[in-house]
């Protein structure tokens, strides 16, 4: 089991398409997190930034960009990039510095400003880059992969288009009560099922949009929290593992899986192993969780996550959903924040936003979306190119 | 009208002719297969080999999953003015125990596919340049 660190403060900028510089969103989130922690900027010893790759040099050096914007204070900085898992990497780096006694209190921040439409690869002729080649040779977009997983659930487990739509309906309803969500609109099953088909069997309202947004988390040592007389939410685990060879599930942005002809495939799939590593580190299991925030890049993908994080056996996710277990008020609410269905994705901020939601839920501050009596929660996510991301927090 | 040249959209990834194959590599030490070709270092964590044989991969396999795309994807995909939905399949090769993506052959309906269906490699046009048809591998249901 890993030593604990404390979450002293959290803050977010609402998700949307605001058309502003990402730094502006990030500063708002930082100041909210500092206020929530009862700290001033000058109290912060390190800024751990999650990088955005769409906003030029300032985005590549996110840690320094926010340190400069808040006013050079001599703080150390770090910057992490792990695609959608960047926020978890930034938290993990901050946690490591605290556990190594290199710092007591650290500000972790991620913010993004995004373009419209499908995420496209970087420009130019890049014949050695699989992310470029998959578009050129196959027209293989991100929704391609989401759709492959969705269709496989239908053919193997009897999932229906109505099941996928029901995930969207649930998450949209949850998001109605979240002031930071981009969309505040309830959907009926019919509305989702009438939206245009994008990548069969997934429809427009079932595929996550890209958004602007920012999230920040102040973490500190348990001693520091006690000195500030706080009984904090604790980070019990941060899993940032990579796959174990051979990775036999087709994954973005690759053309193929690894071959299992010469080396037997591991007992757990990559996505199963991400949560397993987090549970082991926390000394907790799925049965201890009160809620989960998972990456619903598509509605169907949320069902895969139920199984990957151990909420039910393989093939039972549809039953869990149909029984209402994963809605607020159910046995194990999933995405009480509204999830990506209500937010759209702001890549470097999203894994941090998941942790903000756990914090509010575990403090009992989640308002109309509160999961009653929540004592522990898990986040789960994967970043492009093999970045696992799972954080477990508890009271 | 003169016939266009026909050339692969990428060199060295597949053979052409009546029975085309994808071209992969196999590690000389641990026998692991790779596609696209891996020829600098073996990705098996227990193997440090730097020597590989170029091999033709099995040209048939079974569908792992599939999807049909209704929207024009962004560049660098090249699509003409008359964009048509296209289907992509992930197909598992028995011998190599790996799943490989590819578009599905022209004229095959998405509704005719199902997980587990036997598929084979064909080579078809991906896009046309002024004087050259650029080809790519595609998956097509096996017909007896």
Q: Is A328 helix (H, G, I), strand (E, B) or coil?
A: coil
**Boundary residue ending a domain (A168, A198, A233):** A233
pLDDT of A227 reads 94
Residue A155 domain-assigned? yes
* Same-domain pairing of A181 and A328: yes
Average pLDDT over residues A124-144: 91
* Same-domain pairing of A146 and A172: yes
- Residue of chain A whose alpha carbon sits nearest to that of B93: A259
- Cα–Cα distance for residue pair A191/A193, rounded to 1 Å: 6
CA distance A217 to chain B (A): 35
User: pLDDT-based confidence at A122, cuts 50/70/90?
Assistant: confident
- Angle formed at CA A52 by CA B78 and CA A124, multiple of 5 degrees: 25
Q: What is the pLDDT along chain B (144 residues), one digit of tens a residue?
A: 568 899 999 999 999 999 999 999 999 999 999 999 999 999 999 999 999 999 999 999 999 999 999 998 888 998 877 888 999 999 999 999 999 999 999 999 999 999 999 999 999 999 998 899 999 999 999 987
CA distance B2 to chain A (A): 26
* Same-domain pairing of A162 and A283: yes
- Cα–Cα distance for residue pair A66/B129, rounded to 1 Å: 47
Residue A51 domain-assigned? yes
pLDDT of B84 reads 87
Q: Which residues of B touch A123 (CB under 8 A)?
A: 75
- Residue of chain A whose alpha carbon sits nearest to that of B117: A155
Which among A116, A151, A204 is the top mutation candidate for probing chain B, defined by the most B β-carbons within 10 Å of its own β-carbon?
Answer: A151
By the 8 A CB rule, do B64 and B90 touch?
yes
pLDDT of A130 reads 86
CA distance A274 to chain B (A): 19
**Boundary residue ending a domain (A174, A199, A233):** A233
Q: Which residues of B touch A256 (CB under 8 A)?
A: 35-36, 98-101
Q: Which residues of A touch B28 (CB under 8 A)?
A: none
Q: Which residues of A touch B96 (CB under 8 A)?
A: 259, 261
* CA distances to A143, A173, A272 from A256, in Å: 16, 37, 20
Residue A241 domain-assigned? yes
Q: Which residues of B touch A164 (CB under 8 A)?
A: none
Take residue A10 and report the two structure tokens written for it. Answer: 């959290």
Residue A123 domain-assigned? no
pLDDT of A245 reads 97
* Same-domain pairing of A342 and A307: yes
CA distance A205 to chain B (A): 14
CATH of the domain at A72: 3.40.47.10
pLDDT (tens digit per residue) in A303-323: 999 999 999 999 999 999 999
B64/A152 CB distance under 8 A: yes
pLDDT of A118 reads 63
**Residue recorded with tokens 């973490």:** A219
- Residue of chain A whose alpha carbon sits nearest to that of B138: A138
B69/A125 CB distance under 8 A: no
Q: Which residues of B touch A151 (CB under 8 A)?
A: 65-67, 115
* Same-domain pairing of A249 and A229: no
Q: What is the mean pLDDT of chain A?
A: 96
Size of interface A-B (CB pairs under 8 A): 139
Residue A293 domain-assigned? yes
- Cα–Cα distance for residue pair A360/A180, rounded to 1 Å: 12
Take residue A174 and report the two structure tokens written for it. Answer: 């949850």
User: Which of B65, B71, B74 has the CB atom closest to A198's CB atom?
Assistant: B71
A256/B99 CB distance under 8 A: yes
What residues are paired with A380 via a beta bridge?
A294
CA distance B34 to chain A (A): 7
Q: Which of A7, A9, A86 is nearest to A41 (CA)?
A: A9
* Same-domain pairing of A273 and A293: yes
Q: Is A3 helix (H, G, I), strand (E, B) or coil?
A: coil
Domains of chain B plus CATH, in order, are 58-141 (2.40.50)
* Same-domain pairing of A162 and A112: no
Which among B88, B112, B137 is the top mutation candidate for probing chain A, defined by the most A β-carbons within 10 Å of its own β-carbon?
Answer: B88
B102/A138 CB distance under 8 A: yes
Instruction: Label the pairing between strands B98-104 and B132-141.
Output: parallel
Q: Exposed, middle or buried by CB within 10 Å (0-12, 13-18, 19+), for A54? A: middle
Q: Which of A363, A347, A321 is nearest to A62 (CA)?
A: A347
Take residue A296 and report the two structure tokens written for it. Answer: 């619903």
Residue A285 domain-assigned? yes
Residue A124 domain-assigned? no
Residue-number span of the structural domain to which A21 is assigned: 5-117+212-233
- Name the H helices within A176-221: 189-194
* Same-domain pairing of A347 and A221: no
What total of structural domains would you count in chain A?
A: 2
User: pLDDT-based confidence at A91, cuts 50/70/90?
Assistant: very high
Q: Is the dihedral of CA A192, A197, A201, A204 positive or negative?
A: negative
pLDDT of A119 reads 66
pLDDT (tens digit per residue) in A176-202: 999 999 999 999 999 999 999 999 999
pLDDT (tens digit per residue) in A328-381: 999 999 999 999 999 999 999 999 999 999 999 999 999 999 999 999 999 999
A135/B74 CB distance under 8 A: yes
pLDDT (tens digit per residue) in A249-267: 999 889 999 999 999 999 9
* Same-domain pairing of A158 and A283: yes
B69/A141 CB distance under 8 A: yes
A196/B70 CB distance under 8 A: yes
CA distance B12 to chain A (A): 12
* Same-domain pairing of A363 and A250: yes
* Same-domain pairing of A204 and A216: no
* Same-domain pairing of A73 and A147: no
- Residue of chain A whose alpha carbon sits nearest to that of B98: A259
């Amino acid at each position: 089991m890993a030593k604990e660190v404390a979450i002293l403060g959290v803050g977010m900028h609402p998700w949307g398409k605001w058309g502003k510089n990402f730094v502006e969103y990030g500063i708002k989130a930082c100041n909210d997190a500092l206020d929530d922690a009862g700290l001033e900027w000058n109290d912060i010893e390190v800024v751990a930034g999650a990088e955005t790759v769409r906003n030029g040099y300032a985005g590549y050096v996110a840690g320094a960009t926010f340190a400069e914007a808040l006013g050079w204070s001599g703080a150390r900085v770090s910057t992490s990039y792990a695609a959608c898992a960047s926020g978890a990497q930034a938290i993990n780096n901050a946690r490591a510095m605290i556990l190594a006694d290199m710092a007591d209190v650290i500000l972790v921040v991620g913010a993004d400003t995004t373009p419209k439409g499908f995420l496209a690869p970087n420009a130019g002729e890049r014949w050695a880059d699989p992310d470029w080649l998959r578009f050129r040779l196959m027209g293989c977009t991100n929704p391609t992969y989401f759709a492959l997983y969705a269709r496989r659930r239908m053919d193997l487990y009897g999932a229906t288009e109505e099941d996928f739509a029901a995930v969207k309906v649930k998450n949209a309803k949850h998001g109605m009560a979240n002031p930071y969500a981009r969309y505040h609109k309830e959907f009926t099953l019919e509305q989702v099922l009438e939206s245009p088909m994008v990548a069969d069997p997934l429809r427009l309202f079932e595929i996550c949009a890209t958004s602007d947004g920012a999230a920040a988390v102040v973490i500190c040592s348990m001693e520091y929290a006690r000195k500030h007389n706080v009984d904090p939410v604790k980070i019990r685990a941060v899993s940032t593992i990579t796959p174990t060879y051979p990775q036999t599930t087709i994954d973005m942005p690759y053309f193929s899986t690894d071959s299992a002809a010469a080396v037997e495939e591991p007992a757990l799939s990559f996505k199963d192993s991400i949560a397993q590593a987090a549970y082991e580190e926390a000394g907790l299991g799925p049965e201890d969780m009160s809620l989960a925030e998972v990456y619903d890049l598509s509605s169907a993908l949320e069902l895969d996550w139920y199984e990957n994080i151990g909420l039910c056996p393989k093939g039972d996710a549809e039953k869990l959903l149909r029984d209402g277990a994963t809605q607020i008020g159910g046995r194990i609410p999933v995405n009480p924040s509204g999830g990506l269905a209500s937010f759209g994705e702001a890549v470097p901020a999203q894994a941090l936003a998941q942790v903000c939601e756990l914090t509010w839920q575990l403090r009992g501050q989640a308002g109309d979306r509160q999961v009653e009596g929540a004592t522990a929660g898990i986040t789960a996510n994967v970043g492009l190119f093999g970045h696992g991301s799972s954080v477990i927090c508890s009271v | 009208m003169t016939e266009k040249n026909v050339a692969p959209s990428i060199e060295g990834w597949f053979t052409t002719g009546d029975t085309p194959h994808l071209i992969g590599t196999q590690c000389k030490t641990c026998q692991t297969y790779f596609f696209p070709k891996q020829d600098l270092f073996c990705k098996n964590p227990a193997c440090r080999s730097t020597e590989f044989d170029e091999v033709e991969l099995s040209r048939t396999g079974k569908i792992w999953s599939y999807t049909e795309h209704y929207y024009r994807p962004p560049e660098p995909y090249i699509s003409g003015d008359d964009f048509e939905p296209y289907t992509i399949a992930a197909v598992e090769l028995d011998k190599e125990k790996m799943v490989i993506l590819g578009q599905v052959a022209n004229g095959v309906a998405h509704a005719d596919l199902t997980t587990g269906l036997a598929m084979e490699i064909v080579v078809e046009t991906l896009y046309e340049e002024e004087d050259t048809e650029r080809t790519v591998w595609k998956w097509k249901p096996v017909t007896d």
